[in-house]
Amino acid sequence: MITYIGLENIISPLGITAEENFNQIKQGNTSINYHRGIGFGHENIFLSKLKNTPSFYELLSQCLQAVIKGTEDELILSKDTIVIISTTKADIKENITTPIIAAIKKLTKEFQLQQQPIVISNACISGVLAMNTANNFIKAGIYKNAFVIGADVVSDFVLYGFQSLYAISDKPCQPFDKNRTGISLGEGAGGVFMSSDKNVFKSTCFEFVEGTSSNDVNHISGPSRTGEGLVRTVNNSLALAQLKPSAIDFISAHGTGTSFNDEMEAIAFSRLGMNTIPLNSLKGYFGHTLGAAGLIETAICLQSLRNNLLIKTLGFEEDGASEKINITTRNITTEVTTILKTASGFGGCNASAIIRKLK
């Protein structure tokens, strides 16, 4: 059984389609801006914010609608179709006691979903985990189709929280750079469609080969110093896919721009023997969109496959980790076949997924 993936969508300040977003970042444009006085203690903050401040529900429903357009109309109404949502704090701005369920009930009703959506809230790996879950259900024959949508909005709650951890960058974030000082938050949505049937995609689709997750059993808010969890999940995904590390053409890493996270990733990819494979972080373009990040970044990966173009790591200038890895410093036009997407998050969680062009 093969799981196919495609119909990617991104809603960010850079655009409302994956193509628009890809074209913007291709030109080096970022959605991270300076916002005066919006932080705790009226601190000035760099982050990526949508102009019309949509609610979590609006983002989710707009993104799902966009992905649905690329398939046959009746698929969303099928009992064989599952909607999988990924988010961290959902509607925390408006509804702190039930931030998720109210929006999901509304979505179920509005789109007349036949199956209860599955909502994954697993920190910053939620998006990759959501695709892995879709793949697992499809390969097991439990569902034929999955709409996988991730969304998160910027809120005082999350911004103040990261400020309290001293994890917000005082410049636009600089993933993997020597002078990185933290994250820039972002908001938006990303979505993909996955199916066991390639004929229901109205455009070119790809193979979602395998995906796994692993905990690094180190600390709830500090990444492992050895990258153990990331090493394990990548090894597990490669093993299930029956691929060697050298089969990977490109790595779309997590790269938040915090000192410890990026160091951990560099160590992990080095241990994996993947330090010469071109690798990027997209956080410099979109900020860290938390529950949406895995899907937004995977959507860009699919665009890279379509265009044979690897995107440079915006904000990165000088190596800043103890292990040397091959971080993209310019856009690279090259034949790309197989991509590894990774994510790591609080709670020690790590996830990976392998996507490739159809043979």
Partner 1 sequence: MNYITTYCHITLNNCYVNGKLTHSFNSNSIDDFTKEFYKSLILEYPKFHKMDRLAKTAFLGTEVLKKECPEILNYKDDEIAILFSNNNSSALTDVNFQTSYQNGGVPSPSLFVYTLPNILIGEIAIRNKWYGENMFTVAEHFDAEYFVNYCNVLLHKNAAAALCGWLTIDDNKIEAFLFFVTKKDFNELNLPLESKQLIELYTKN
Q: Which residues are near partner 1 by CB under 8 A?
A: 40, 88-90, 92, 96-101, 104-105, 116, 118-123, 129, 133, 136-137, 140, 142, 157, 160-165, 212-221, 228-229, 232, 236, 240, 345-349
Nearer to partner 1, 245 or 347 (CB): 347
- Measured from the CB of residue 58, what is the shortest distance to partner 1 in angstroms? 19
Nearer to partner 1, 52 or 217 (CB): 217
- Measured from the CB of residue 121, what is the shortest distance to partner 1 in angstroms? 5
- Measured from the CB of residue 140, what is the shortest distance to partner 1 in angstroms? 5
Q: Which residues contact 38 (CB under 8 A, 6 or more apart)?
A: 44, 45, 47, 159
- Measured from the CB of residue 213, what is the shortest distance to partner 1 in angstroms? 5
Answer for the pair 60, 268: CB distance below 8 angstroms, yes or no: no
CB atoms within 10 A of CB 141: 10
Nearer to partner 1, 13 or 345 (CB): 345
Q: Which residues contact 157 (CB under 8 A, 6 or more apart)?
A: 89, 92, 93, 96
Nearer to partner 1, 281 or 352 (CB): 352
- Measured from the CB of residue 106, what is the shortest distance to partner 1 in angstroms? 12
Question: How far apart are the C-alpha atoms of 334 and 356, rounded to whole Å?
Answer: 14
CB atoms within 10 A of CB 317: 13
Token digits of residue 160 = 């103040």
Nearer to partner 1, 31 or 258 (CB): 258
CB atoms within 10 A of CB 69: 11
- Measured from the CB of residue 79, what is the shortest distance to partner 1 in angstroms? 13
Question: How far apart are the C-alpha atoms of 217 and 354, rounded to whole Å?
Answer: 23
Question: How far apart are the C-alpha atoms of 139 and 143, rounded to whole Å?
Answer: 8
- Measured from the CB of residue 269, what is the shortest distance to partner 1 in angstroms? 18
Token digits of residue 16 = 């409302």
Nearer to partner 1, 164 or 308 (CB): 164
Answer for the pair 337, 356: CB distance below 8 angstroms, yes or no: yes
Q: Give SS3 for 156.
A: helix
Nearer to partner 1, 106 or 324 (CB): 106
- Measured from the CB of residue 183, what is the shortest distance to partner 1 in angstroms? 14
| Torsions phi, psi for 311 (to 5 deg) | -90, 140
DSSP conformation class of 177: B
Paired strand residues for 210: 354
DSSP conformation class of 141: T
Question: How far apart are the C-alpha atoms of 26 and 29, rounded to whole Å?
Answer: 7
Nearer to partner 1, 96 or 358 (CB): 96
